[in-house]
Amino acid sequence: MGSMYAAVLFIGVQNAVSVQPVVAIERTVFYRERAAGMYSAMPYAFGQVVIELPYLFAQTLIYGVIVYSMIGFEWKVEKFFWYVFFMYFTLLYFTLYGMMTVAVTPNHNIAAIVSSAFYAIWNLFSGFIIPRTRIPIWWRWYYWACPVAWTLYGLVASQFGDVQETLESGVTVQDFIESYFGFRHDFVWAVAVVHVGICVLFCFTFAFSIKVFNFQRR
């Protein structure tokens, strides 16, 4: 679980940070071409998102095959599929989040400042440092609103949520995961749907912001 937590935050934040200056530069070109009547906001935003998909898939596949075998997870088609699925959509929503923060701010420097504040909050409420069962009840709403928490839920529940091996305490791995972290294996499908929803939300916000906001100065 520690490897999942570290990889999700490190690679995800790296993706978000690296895409911000690129989107900021291309947005300047978009302003010029839109003024000339050549570009429309929605096709531009759609193209920006779609071009990232094959690169993210290649990144996920290379990372997934190497790490999955090195850690020693069970070589089952279903579990490997879930691992690749959750990592792919995690890297996707981090990338879309980086694009979105540029779209709602004047430049990539301010976008980096704004996004870094949320990285710290996502880290705190991810469910790794403090499990959901131990988060005060009045703060748990943000756990459910934290994308990284959903990622760890999906990764851990899909890999360990059905393991019946017994720990030294006499509790099975499945029971420990459910009692300590609150992760249930039968909830994996719902977690997958949430991942898709997060990506759609960030993508829509990026497209809407590109269309509505204009930070160009004459």
Q: How far apart are CA 112 and CA 156, in angstroms?
A: 29
Residue 5's identity, in one-letter code, is Y
The per-residue pLDDT for range 33-50, each reduced to its tens digit, is 888 888 888 888 999 999
> Residue 61 above 90 pLDDT?
yes
| CA dihedral over 69, 74, 77, 79, signed as positive or negative | negative
Whether the pTM exceeds 0.75: the reply is yes
Contact 167, 176 (CB under 8 A): yes
Domain ranges for the chain, please list them.
1-212
**pLDDT tier for residue 218 given thresholds of 50, 70 and 90:** low
The per-residue pLDDT for range 187-214, each reduced to its tens digit, is 999 999 999 999 999 999 999 999 888 8
Q: How far apart are CA 150 and CA 127, in angstroms?
A: 9
Residue 179 per-residue DSSP state: I
Q: Which residue, 96, 82, 97, is CA-closest to 192?
A: 82
Q: Where are the alpha helices (DSSP H) in the chain?
A: 2-35, 41-50, 52-71, 77-103, 108-124, 140-145, 147-160, 173-176, 188-212
Q: Kindly list the distances between the CA atom of residue 208 and the CA atoms of 23, 44, 73, in Å, as whole numbers in the listed order.
A: 15, 11, 40
**pLDDT tier for residue 168 given thresholds of 50, 70 and 90:** confident
Q: What is the pLDDT of residue 183?
A: 92
